[in-house]
Amino acid sequence: MSRRRILPLAVLGLATVAAAPDRSLGQPLLGEYAILGQARTALRAGVRVTSGAVGTVGGTLVLGNQVRVSDAVAADTIRLGPDTSAERFFCRFAILSRGGGVVGGGTLPACRAFTPPLVDPALLAPVAVTPGTRDLRVPRRTGTAPMPAASYGHVVVGKGSLLQLAGGSYTARSIRVAPSGRLVCADACR
């Protein structure tokens, strides 16, 4: 190829790369959320979300003391506890609880532009959620085999315990995970 042909191809290649949006900079898409609440979502002290974004569709996201989210957090209002961190913040308002700060940043995170709605309502098909009546409790410092998809009442994972979900659709009235407890999906969970 002559030099005259190489330059236009290189410029065309750069234009293609520059025109492609960088998904890592934008608000998370529906499938990128590990946790997505409806009105108020709270992650208590010490919670770690190692994969996926965390958000609240129509309200406040509360991140307790030393919460770590490896991806983005997004909500209209985000309330931050002390020593909280996330990869990116999308919000209109950020409130520091009890003098909280953000690891790796200033005292108030730079909220990137929050574009309502957080998730396209057409993608949130109404789901009739009927939690079960049977509670699922994992005693402290124990674990489970992968549990099949089902409806549960209250799900409690004790301190230092592991609850494995096999994958599929689950419903629960509430889910509480004690410090150093883990809830893990062996396959895609909904």
Condensed to tens digits (0 to 9), the pLDDT of residues 154-165 reads: 999 999 999 999
Residue type, 168: G
Residue 160 sits in the same domain as residue 183: yes
pTM for the predicted model, two decimal places: 0.70
Determine the average pLDDT of the residues in 38-56: 90
Indicate the SS3 state at residue 140. coil
* Domain tally, the chain: 2
pLDDT band at 60 (very low <50, low <70, confident <90, very high): very high
Report phi then psi at 171, rounded to 5: -130, 150
Q: Is 133 helix (H, G, I), strand (E, B) or coil?
A: coil
**pLDDT surpassing 70 at residue 109:** no
CA distances from 91 to 28, 46, 65, 131, 172 (A): 12, 22, 19, 31, 28
pLDDT beyond 50 at 1: no
* Same domain for 189 and 148: yes
Do the domain assignments include residue 173? yes
**Domain check: are 106 and 150 in the same one?**
no
Among 185, 94, 93, CA closest to 147 = 185
Q: Residue 92 pLDDT more than 70?
A: yes
Q: Is the pLDDT of residue 47 over 60?
A: yes
Which domain range does residue 171 map to?
127-190
Task: Look at residues 105, 124, 143 and tell me which one is the last residue of a structural domain.
Answer: 124
